[in-house]
Amino acid sequence: MLEADILASLFDDGQALDRRIPVNPYKELRYLVIEDQEASRKTLQMCIQSMGGSSIDLAASFNDAVNRIQRHMPDVIVCDYMLGSGRTGQQLLEDLRRSSRLPDTVAFLMVTAERTYEQVVSAVELAPDDYIIKPFSPETLRSRMERVIRKKIFFHAFHQLKVTGDFDAAIAELDALEGAEEGRQYRFDIFRARAETLLAAEAFQAAYDSYAAILEVHPFPWALAGQARALRQLTRYDEAEQAVDSVLAAAPNYFDAYDLKADICCDLGKFDEAQSILQQAAERTPRNWQRKRSLSTVAKLNGDFDTARKLIEEVIANDRVGGFPIGDRIALVRTALEGGDQALARKTLGELTAEEREALGPEEWLNLECLEARMEGGEAGSKRFDRVRAELRRANLPVDSALDAIRAALEFSDRQLADQMADELLTGSEARRAFHAMLEIYRRHDMEDHFRQLQRAAAARLLQKKH
Amino acid sequence: MELEQPHAIDVIASGIHDIKNELFDALARIGAARQSIHADEPAAALPVLAETEVALSAAAERLSKLLSAYRLARHENPVAMVAVDVSDLVEDVLIRVGTTRRGIELASDVRCKDAWICDRELVADSLVNALQNALRHARSAVRIEADVVDAMLRFSIADDGPGFPTEMPAHADGTRSGVGLFIARRIAALHFRHGRKGHLAMSNGGALGGAIFTLDLP
């Protein structure tokens, strides 16, 4: 991948003055064309060649594209929206950017004959750098590509800062860019980038205000969604629900917004509704494995272990490109165990290789230990659980893992540990999501009253904190 | 006031008629090219094939427009609002239209330096159509301008041709069908922001003395 200063020098006409041979900047870039139809692939290749591009990699499918990007990161991607087998370039873009496998510094241009794609771009939070409607001339491609690259150069420092997580510096960089002369043409992009960065930086009130300013200009669905996310984090759940409802009203095919709505419903303890919403969205986007994972989690929180298990099995069987196979396997062990299917749980555990076990993160390892201890049961299980008690006390586990730990603690009669972890969940941000599941766990051990006491105590402490 | 649905049907049927003619025309040219090759004169086939390509391209472009007209008439196309750099939009339009047109000078003046919120593709389509029409009728000069007037983004395309006929030009795009105009009117009307709607105007006169096409967007 080319450095910004090299890119900038290639595109700065002034720099070429002292060279005898004119430099064609497009010659220096590395391209990836993603298109499932061979004839169209060749056309795109020729189009780029006519611009002077020579280093052009070709991918014929979604998976092929992912592999090539992983092997050698291109500078510019030109991707067709329709990629065959029900996959789209939009899904590819979202998967890659969200899993950090495609940096913001790499240009992504979508090409499509589908006019309906405009609606996608105008609604979603993750849009390509530009899109072009087919048929188009090489000159159009060149002019669009140049604009995208110039914008990348302009925002390069900001992207680098954002990637390192230095959000304060990233925002400061945006402020500086806004004041610059060239900043005028990128003003709107700067506003949008600022709002998104504030969200990432967890400055939720500031993010909310930023999105509000954008909404004054136009009620963009992605800006409403941004506000909904901010409101959710500010625990203003009812307002968040209203905001996400207006996103869905404006853009009913904006599926990510259904995920957000389901999350908000979980926050409000409306698990049935959450499951139903995600179910509808998953039916319409059957190859979106991340959505199916979310649906599986929600089904679990809703006590529907059968559905949860079926979904996670489907994901494991089909998602060749997803980033969290171990997480899926652990989820399957969990749902199998909760659904009473010891055989499946054992089988799944047995499939874990030694390398995979070596590669487990500390939280994953703890989670697995809790599950395995319960499966072993009796003396052996108790001994296994003993070994991790101390670490569990210190650990800061995600909800699913924490619930597994509580189950194990109660099973092995460590009420103190169970209560400690329950209390952490009850006073944390995931309280509403986890409440139903926790209640069920304690109920199974005939300790419902005890749990309710815990809940009241936690609520009282939270109230005191507020004052 | 014309009823929209029947009008759309007339417009679309008329467009289909034009496409049919263009396709038969292309077929005839392909036949002629084939004959040249048979007669061992392949070089003669090349210019004919080039003409065929132009005719097919025009037919494809017109089909695409008809599809847009159909969708707009059926309200299947809510506008896709994005922030658009006005200079970039005009540059895209100029690229699509092409710069060389039998001795006609095409000038542009974009005075709006900021981004505007509109449906980029639909607006570009109407401007491409209007510009092609202006180029078809101009004597020697066409001018496209973009400026902010009364808080609306105003695109105007003027030519030095004979101007619009006083009888309402339902077929202002230079052919029998009025697809282009139908689409442009719908697009203007679909842009509704801050309590104001977009609108289209056609007049004669101005600096170039010919037709002036104006598209105002809120």
Min Cα distance B57 → chain A (Å) is 10
Task: Establish whether this prediction's ipTM goes over 0.95.
Answer: no
Chain A positions contacting chain B at CB under 8 Å are 115, 118-119, 121-123, 133, 135, 137, 139-140, 143-144, 147, 184-185, 187-189, 217-218, 220
> For A296-315, what is the HEC assignment?
HHHHHHCCCHHHHHHHHHHH
Assigned domain for A89 exists: yes
Residues A13 and A80 reside in one and the same domain: yes
For chain A, the domain total comes to: 2
Residue A322's pLDDT band (boundaries 50, 70, 90)? low
CA angle A178, A182, A187 (to 5 degrees): 45
Least confident of A187-196, A263-272, A285-294, B23-32: A285-294
State which of A268, A298, A330 marks the end of a domain: A268
Residues A188 and A156 reside in one and the same domain: no
pLDDT at residue A414, as a whole number? 94
Residues A84 and A139 reside in one and the same domain: yes
Average pLDDT over residues A331-355: 89
**Of B68, B83, B92, which has the smallest distance from its Cβ to A188's Cβ?**
B83
Asked whether the predicted pLDDT for residue B43 surpasses 60, the reply is yes
CB contacts of B87 in chain A (<8 Å) are 185
* Cα distance from N-terminal residue to C-terminal residue, chain A: 53
The domain spanning residue A213 has which CATH number?
A: 1.25.40.10
Residue of A440 and B54 predicted with greater confidence = A440
Residues A113 and A209 reside in one and the same domain: no
CB contacts of B194 in chain A (<8 Å) are none
Residue of A388 and A356 predicted with greater confidence = A388
pLDDT at residue B53, as a whole number? 84
Residues A95 and A121 reside in one and the same domain: yes
DSSP string, A115-128: TTHHHHHHH-SS--
Name the residue in chain A with its Cα closest to that of B60: A135
Q: Under an 8 A CB cutoff, do A218 and B193 touch?
A: yes
What is the per-residue pLDDT across A197-245, written as a single tens digit (0 to 9) for each? 999 999 999 999 999 999 999 999 999 999 999 999 999 999 999 999 9
CB contacts of B93 in chain A (<8 Å) are none
Assigned domain for A377 exists: no
Chosen from A90, A112, A114, A115 to mutate, greatest number of chain B CBs within 10 A: A115
Residues A80 and A197 reside in one and the same domain: no
Residue of A421 and B167 predicted with greater confidence = A421
Assigned domain for A73 exists: yes
The closest alpha carbon to A423, from A445, A393, A443, A385, belongs to A393
Least confident of A186-200, A352-366, A405-419: A352-366
Q: Under an 8 A CB cutoff, do A137 and B96 touch?
A: yes
pLDDT at residue B165, as a whole number? 79
Task: Tally the residues of chain A.
Answer: 467
C-alpha to C-alpha distance for A435 and A249, rounded to whole angstroms: 30
C-alpha to C-alpha distance for B130 and B124, rounded to whole angstroms: 10
CB contacts of B53 in chain A (<8 Å) are none
B130 contacts B215 by C-beta, under 8 angstroms: yes
Q: Under an 8 A CB cutoff, do B60 and A135 touch?
A: yes
C-alpha to C-alpha distance for B199 and B149, rounded to whole angstroms: 13
State which of A245, A268, A291 marks the end of a domain: A268
The closest alpha carbon to A255, from A124, A87, A127, belongs to A124
Residues A190 and A131 reside in one and the same domain: no
C-alpha to C-alpha distance for A309 and A328, rounded to whole angstroms: 10
pLDDT at residue B12, as a whole number? 85
pLDDT at residue A212, as a whole number? 96
Residue B76's pLDDT band (boundaries 50, 70, 90)? low
CB contacts of B68 in chain A (<8 Å) are 115
The closest alpha carbon to B190, from B212, B213, B154, B217, belongs to B217
% of chain A exceeding 90 in pLDDT: 65
Residue B146's pLDDT band (boundaries 50, 70, 90)? very high
Residue A141 sits at φ, ψ, to 5 deg, of: -60, -45
What is the per-residue pLDDT across B81-124, written as a single tens digit (0 to 9) for each? 999 999 999 999 999 888 666 789 999 999 998 899 999 999 99
Q: 3-state DSSP helix/strand/coil percent for chain A, to nearest 5?
A: 70, 5, 25
Distances (CA, A) of A161 to A64, A95, A182, A210, B208: 30, 22, 20, 20, 52
Q: Domain span at residue A137?
A: 1-164
State which of A252, A268, A284 marks the end of a domain: A268
Residue of B138 and B64 predicted with greater confidence = B138
Min Cα distance B137 → chain A (Å) is 25
The domain spanning residue A151 has which CATH number?
A: 3.40.50.2300
Assigned domain for A91 exists: yes
Residues A32 and A66 reside in one and the same domain: yes
Assigned domain for A331 exists: no
pTM of the model: 0.81
pLDDT at residue A269, as a whole number? 87
The closest alpha carbon to A204, from A235, A180, A183, A179, belongs to A235
**Of B77, B85, B91, which has the smallest distance from its Cβ to A143's Cβ?**
B91
C-alpha to C-alpha distance for A178 and A420, rounded to whole angstroms: 49
Q: How many C-beta neighbours within 10 Å does residue A105 have?
A: 19
pLDDT at residue B100, as a whole number? 60
Q: Under an 8 A CB cutoff, do A147 and B88 touch?
A: yes
Average pLDDT over residues A295-310: 91
**Of B92, B113, B193, which has the smallest distance from its Cβ to A184's Cβ?**
B113
Assigned domain for A412 exists: no
Q: Can you list the positions of beta strands (E) in A49-106?
A: 55-59, 76-80
Residues A160 and A186 reside in one and the same domain: no
Residues A257 and A133 reside in one and the same domain: no
Asked whether the predicted pLDDT for residue A307 surpasses 80, the reply is yes
Min Cα distance B162 → chain A (Å) is 32
Residues A10 and A120 reside in one and the same domain: yes
pLDDT at residue A353, as a whole number? 84
Q: Under an 8 A CB cutoff, do B120 and A118 touch?
A: yes
Query: Can you say how many angstroms the Cα of residue A438 is from the centroid of all Cα atoms in its chain?
Result: 26
Average pLDDT over residues A340-352: 90
A451 contacts A439 by C-beta, under 8 angstroms: yes
Assigned domain for A363 exists: no
Chosen from A90, A122, A145, A149 to mutate, greatest number of chain B CBs within 10 A: A122
Asked whether the predicted pLDDT for residue A190 surpasses 50, the reply is yes
Residues A15 and A97 reside in one and the same domain: yes
Average pLDDT over residues A92-109: 92
- Encoding tokens for residue A332? 């399957």
% of chain A exceeding 70 in pLDDT: 94
Residue A432's pLDDT band (boundaries 50, 70, 90)? confident
Distances (CA, A) of A291 to A146, A348, A383: 35, 22, 38
Chain B positions contacting chain A at CB under 8 Å are 60, 67-68, 71, 77-78, 80-83, 85, 87-88, 91-92, 95-96, 113-115, 117, 119-121, 193
Give the SS3 label for residue A383.
helix
Least confident of A66-70, A80-84, A279-283, A428-432: A428-432
Residue A357's pLDDT band (boundaries 50, 70, 90)? confident
Average pLDDT over residues A145-150: 93
Give A399's contacts (C-beta < 8 A, 6+ positions apart). A425, A430, A433, A434
Assigned domain for A172 exists: no
